[in-house]
Amino acid sequence: MMEYEFELRFKLPADATDAKELVERLGEAGCEDALVGTGQAGRIALKFTREAESAKRAIISALEDVKQAISGARLIEAGPDFVGLTDVAEMLGMSRQNIRKLTLAHAATFPAPVHEGSTAIWHLEPVLQWFRGKGGYNNISQEQIDVAHIAMQINLVKAANRLELPMQREVQTLVA
């Protein structure tokens, strides 16, 4: 068994307004290994430290537990997944400027962002894989990569569920 750290953020159903009751229901459903944040109306965030045989099993079981406790809760995001340069810098113990220099110096091989604009956003897993492949970044554990991979997969499935099938077929080969 390994220990995995990850976050799940949900939109709550309209009738789920009592924060204390939600926390109790989550504990009864098996989420006693999560710190629960209820600071934003209509939302709940859970930061898990869960033991499981794999990152996939840890995150999937947490999703199942939350769904059992709060029927109608809709996943907003699994994390860690979407990151900016500041997030990557903090994870690696480097400055944001140093990370930015590395992305520019290795523009051909550094993973492409999923959003470019005034703030670029990446999926964390390919970024961690890139740094690990460069060598010298021994503070990146396989567990971190596994959790980032599963979080990304869950977020991609969630996004794919919104696709219109004819559009997917038409565009699929053009964006690969």
For 135-174, what is each residue's pLDDT tens digit?
Answer: 877 789 999 999 999 999 999 999 988 888 888 888 888 8
Q: How many CB atoms lie within 10 A of CB 46?
A: 21
Q: How far apart are CA 13 and CA 101, in angstroms?
A: 44
Q: Which domains does the chain have, with CATH numbers?
A: 2-79+154-160 (3.30.70.260), 82-140 (1.10.10)
Task: Return d(Cα 15, Cα 22) in angstroms, integer.
Answer: 11
Query: Strands 34-37 and 122-123, how do they pair?
Result: unpaired
* Percent with pLDDT over 70 in the chain: 100
Taking the CA of residue 87 as centre, how many other CA atoms within 13 Å lie in the half-sphere pointing to its CB?
15
The pLDDT value given to residue 155: 97
Q: Are 150 and 59 in contact (CB under 8 A)?
A: yes
Question: Which of the 8 DSSP states describes residue 19?
Answer: H
- The predicted-structure confidence for 12-57, as pLDDT tens digits, reads as follows 999 988 889 999 999 999 999 999 999 899 999 999 999 999 999 9
Predicted TM-score of the model (pTM): 0.91
